[in-house]
Structure 1
Amino acid sequence: MNQYLISALDFTDENALQRRLHARPMHFETVRKLKASGNFIIGGAILNDRKQMIGSSLIVQFETDRQLSAWLAEEPYLLLKVWEKVDIKPFKVADV
């Protein structure tokens, strides 16, 4: 499987945190499905110095880039304008 490191930073407007909190249950449901299918490896929120959520990091795996794109097309944090900047890089989890 192809593995990917995803770093996503939230929008910074005054309603950004509200959008994140609204979308969060839907995002978690999507991640639960990824986990059940074996596509989710690890993830969590990026925090600022005040421990406020300002983004997300995930390591996921898919057989194809097309499957990755299909997930991204349905990801609530993208659809509901939580993530502003998304960086995706190929990744390989160390087998130790």
Structure 2
Amino acid sequence: MNQYLVTAYDYTDEGALERRMSVRPHHLDAAKTLKENGNYVLGGAILNDKGEMAGSVMVLQFDTEEELAAWQQSEPYITQKIWETVDVKPFKVANVG
């Protein structure tokens, strides 16, 4: 499988954090489905100086670019305008020990 590093930053408008929190259960459900299908490696929130969620980092893996594109088209944080910028780069998890 091809692995990808996803780095995404949230919108910063007033209400952005509240919007994120309302969509978060859907995002986590989607991540659970990714994990069940073997596509989720790891993920978590990027925190701002106040300790509030302001973005995300995920390591995902897909067999094809089409599967990656399908994820991007269905990811709640993308479709619900939580992430303002999304950077996806090819990645390789190091297997140590």
Give the TM-score taking structure 2 as reference length.
Answer: 0.97
Q: Deviations over 1:43-89 (max 9, x none)?
A: 00000111100000000000011101101101000111100000010
The one-letter amino acid of 2:14's match is E
Deviations 1:31-50 (A, max 9, x none): 00000011000000000111
Query: When the two structures are aligned, how many residues end up with a matched partner?
Result: 96
CA RMSD, 1 decimal: 0.5
SS at match of 2:4: strand
Identity %: 54
* Structure 1 position 15, deviation (Å): 1.4
The match for 1:22 is 22
Deviation >6 Å, runs of 4+: none
Q: Tell me, yes or no, if structure 1 residue 4 matches structure 2 residue 18.
A: no
Structure 1: stretches of 5+ with no match in the other structure? none
State the 1:21 CA deviation.
0.5
d(CA) in 1 for partners of 2:89 and 2:54? 20
TM-score by length of 1: 0.98
Indicate the SS of the match to 1:44: strand
CA distance in 1 between counterparts of 2:57 and 2:18 reads 19
Segments of structure 2 that go 5 or more residues without pairing to the other structure are none
What is the identity, as a one-letter code, of the residue corresponding to 1:59? V
